[in-house]
Structure 1
Amino acid sequence: MGDLTFVDVCSGAGGLALGLERAGFVPRLLLDIEQYACDTLKVNRPHWKVLNADLLDFDPMDHPEVYDVDLLAAGLPRVQSSATVTRRSSDTEIRLIQATAYLVHAVQPRALVIENVPTLVDEESLAPVRDFLHKELEHLGYELTWFILNASDFGVPQDRKQGILVAVKHRWAGAFLPPRPTVHQHLSVGAALAPSMRSGGWPDADRWAAQATSVAPTLVGGSKTHGGPDFGPSGTKAKWRRMGVYTKSFGNEPPGPDFKWDPSLGNDGLVRITVDQTALLQGFPPDWRFAGGKTARYRQVGNAAPPPVGKALGQAVAQALQTPSPPHAGYTSSP
């Protein structure tokens, strides 16, 4: 088998696509509804074919390059869990999941990866969504595996759980195994951000990094209706403050030589992290550039799939698709 190919829908800032690229996949088409996200993809990978379009309106017959691909990847907008799943605010998210399943009907990739909230895997209120996917995909010859990954287990300095569905055609399904953690010791916020914190000449960078020994709380990008960049709910902000981080806004650049870090002074003594630094906490490389202003950039970062997780998923799928005459393991699913 030559180069493995993929189509990526709801691509966002390219976290999943970048990970798949690192796993050896070559993209045929990336699609996203947000212009800033498409601009981000184009500035970082000018050779990728990027389409600014709504998945709900996408017709694969107009884009024949999406046929005969190895993988369809979808980092879909987060579905709401529990009681909120039936509210109007979740209609679009559910419709995008349905559109992905219908695209599988048309494209018939050898494998499908959907990345979303962990509750999609096992919460009872989302059972109808799982049932729909099983009904639509199993009769097409796919076997479905549901599982949850935490990005911190793959070298990402963030406590970020992701619900994953991998559906693989019967011929290769028996060889698929969910990725196993790639690190034995989690990367801390301090270790991840220390070089960036030093870059402006801040003398307290190492002292700050030495006490920021945990992974970051989950970054949340929000939506167009959610407002500006935000550190999240009060409990999340409290975790950041315990690491000496200011939580009312993001900084524009790393601290300079005159900044004195002293949490005893209250907000004035806390360090501000930048949007570019949050991208490091998502596992993006330092040279990955994000289009738009601060709000648009952080929204892309917070909503992204961490590239190291994308790479691990890609490697697991690639291993299955490249296994000659794999043993048939039968249907697998988490509860």
Structure 2
Amino acid sequence: MVRANELRYSSVEICAGAGGQAVGLHQAGFKHVALIEIDKDACQTLRANTSEEAEWAGCRVIQADLRAFDSKELGLQPGELDLLAGGVPCPPFSSAGKQLGRDDERDLFPTMLDLVDQLEPKAVMIENVRGLVDPKFADYRAEIIKRLESLGYEQCYWEVLEAKRYGVPQLRPRAILVAMKPEYAKYFEHAKPEPAREVSVGEALHDTMRERFDAVADDPRAEKAFKDWYEKALEGVAPTLVGGSKKHGGADLGPTRAKRSWADLGVCGLGVANDPEDMKDKERDLFAAAGPKLTVRQAGIIQGFPEEWNFTGRKTAAYRQVGNAFPPPVARAVGEQIYAAFEAAAQAAKGK
């Protein structure tokens, strides 16, 4: 996993999920003190990827309901933490739901702000769906900013960042709030992070799809099916991956409109494929009329995860972790802005 900076600043993340934001912030140079998540499968994924890695040494994975979590468990003194980050639950603000906002019992903004009050980090980063910046939530956003200001923070920006502008082969707009203590905020670059080159689905998945079709090379259809997929997949980025709800059935790649978009890219969205070593039905996984289905690993690549990041649990549970994730490259881009502000403040302090 390539990092942009030395691991110099500390971070605690809430609602860590499968680690998308954690990966991006790690790449930006943040050393995680703790990753807090309620879902047991996601916690297992976090442990599986961090427990044996020297660069993640000291990172605790804590399975907890944030509303019942005691910040004293972190062992941090107020003001000691550099960054408190997290992606509070999206359904209260998602256009796909009822958009109940503060009236939704899943809204954890108040809990997040209470943690800010208790931990007094130097910076705060919160991500959510684009729906949060809709006009109907203007008053709620104003309340959040007012609370942060009362705690001694300045809003650096609250912007919608489109994942495809940061090298993620997917349409995935996210609303990102960054606030910092004034002594750091004055060094923050308030413009959106610099965009990266757009990456198509074909570019992103070429090697893993080639590997899957090579596993059935004895089938005379394999080479043509691969070429047909690749030609279509070079045409653009993917629609938004969705994780779905545990209350509903198995995993697929989204609603009808999204499935049509996937079909245009040569991918069948009616389910998730098994990995090559576990494939039981090549007709289902590779030779569906719309094209091959994606494996969990490939869905992770579409989200911008490193290929070596492993998602644990049964296929549906693993896919839901991927579908609900925050793309690491977007987290990295914002993290690098926060890191640069810390560095500038440190250099200014040395010059005094």
- Compared with structure 1, are the counterparts of its residues 194 and 66 closer, same or farther at alpha carbon in structure 2 (3 Å cutoff)? farther
Secondary structure, counterpart of 1:85 in structure 2 = coil
Q: Secondary structure at the match of 1:84?
A: coil
Letter of the 2:175 partner, please give it: G
**1:305 corresponds to:** 326
Task: Specify the SS of the correspondent of 2:262.
Answer: helix
The residue number in structure 1 matching 2:170 is: 158
Partner of 2:106: 93
Residues 1:173 and 2:185 aligned together: yes
Change (3 A) 1:117 1:268: same
Higher RCO structure (Cα 8 Å, ≥6 apart): 1
The alpha-carbon deviation at position 291 of structure 1 amounts to 1.2
2:264 maps to 242
Give 2:307's match in structure 1, choosing from 286, 302, 306: 286
In structure 1, the residue matched to 2:24 is 19
For residues 53-92 of structure 1, what are the structure 2 equivalents within 5 Å?
Answer: 53-65=64-76, 67=78, 68-78=80-90, 79-81=92-94, 84-86=98-100, 91-92=104-105
Map 1:249-268 to 2 at 5 A: 249-253=271-275, 267-268=288-289
Q: Please, which of 250, 253, 261 is the counterpart of residue 231 of structure 1?
A: 253
Equivalent residue letter for 2:253 = F
Quick one: distance in 2 between partners of 1:217 and 1:295? 19
Match of 1:39 in 2: 44
Structure 2 runs not aligned, ≥5 long: 1-5, 52-56, 215-221
Aligned identity (percent) is: 40
SS in 2 for 1:322: helix
SS across alignment from 1:92: coil
Measured against aligned partners, the alpha-carbon deviations of 1:202-250 in whole angstroms (never above 9, x if no partner) come to 4242442122121000001122224321221211111011122212111
Partners of 2:44 and 2:104 in 1: CA distance: 27
- The alpha-carbon deviation at position 62 of structure 1 amounts to 2.7
Residue 332 of structure 1 corresponds to which residue in structure 2? none
**Residues 269 and 162 from structure 1, CA distance in 2 versus in 1: closer, same or farther, beyond 3 angstroms?**
closer
Superposition deviation, residue 274 in structure 1? 1.1
Do the aligned residues in 1 keep the contact of 2:170 with 2:302 (CA within 8 Å)?
Answer: yes
Q: What are the Cα deviations for residues 62-108 of structure 1, in whole angstroms up to 9, with x where unaligned?
A: 322374111000112203346822389x62332x1110011000001
Please tell me the root mean square deviation across aligned C-alpha atoms, in Å. Answer: 2.6
Q: What one-letter code is carried by the residue in structure 2 that aligns with 1:93?
A: R
Alpha-carbon distance in 2 for matches of 1:62, 1:29: 10
Aligned residues of 2:24 and 2:332 also touching (Cα < 8 A)? yes
* 1:259 Cα offset (Å): 6.6
Q: Does the C-alpha gap of structure 1 residues 66 and 52 become closer, same or farther in structure 2, counting only changes over 3 Å?
A: farther
SS at match of 1:323: helix
Please, which moves more after superposition, 132-141 or 267-276? 267-276
What are the Cα deviations for residues 21-42 of structure 1, in whole angstroms up to 9, with x where unaligned? Answer: 1111101111000011111011
CA gap 1:28/1:151 in 2 versus in 1, 3 angstroms: same
Q: Hey, what's the Cα distance between the residues in 1 that align with 2:243 and 2:110?
A: 23
Partner of 2:148: 137
After superposition, the Cα gap between the structure-2 partners of 1:61 and 1:215, relative to the gap in structure 1 and judged at 3 Å, is same
Match of 2:202 in 1: 190
Q: 1:166 to 1:268 in 2, by over 3 A?
A: same
TM-score by length of 2: 0.84
More deviation in 155-164 or 58-67? 58-67
Q: Is contact 1:148-1:164 (8 Å) kept?
A: yes
Q: In structure 1, what residue type is equivalent to 2:165?
A: D
For 1:9, the equivalent position in structure 2 comes to 14
Residue type of the partner of 1:117?
Answer: V
Using the alignment, how far apart are the partners of 2:73 and 2:265 within structure 1? 50
1:103 lines up with 2:115 in the alignment? yes
Consecutive unaligned residues in structure 1, runs of 5 or more: 328-335
Identify the match of residue 215 of structure 1 among 219, 233, 237. 237
Counterparts of 1:311 and 1:2, CA distance in 2: 13
> What is the distance in 1 between the residues matched to 2:229 and 2:171?
20
Partner of 1:331: none
1-structure distance, mates of 2:255, 2:183: 45
> Which residue is 2:54 aligned to?
none
* 1:2, distance to aligned residue in structure 2 (A): 8.1
What TM-score do you get using the length of structure 1 for normalisation? Answer: 0.88
* 1:203 paired to 2:223: yes
Match of 1:333 in 2: none
Q: Is the alpha carbon distance of 1:115 and 1:66 closer, same or farther for their aligned partners in structure 2, counting shifts above 3 Å? A: farther
Instruction: Report deviation, 1:44.
Output: 0.4
**Alpha-carbon distance change, 294 to 154 in structure 1, aligned in 2, over 3 angstroms:** same
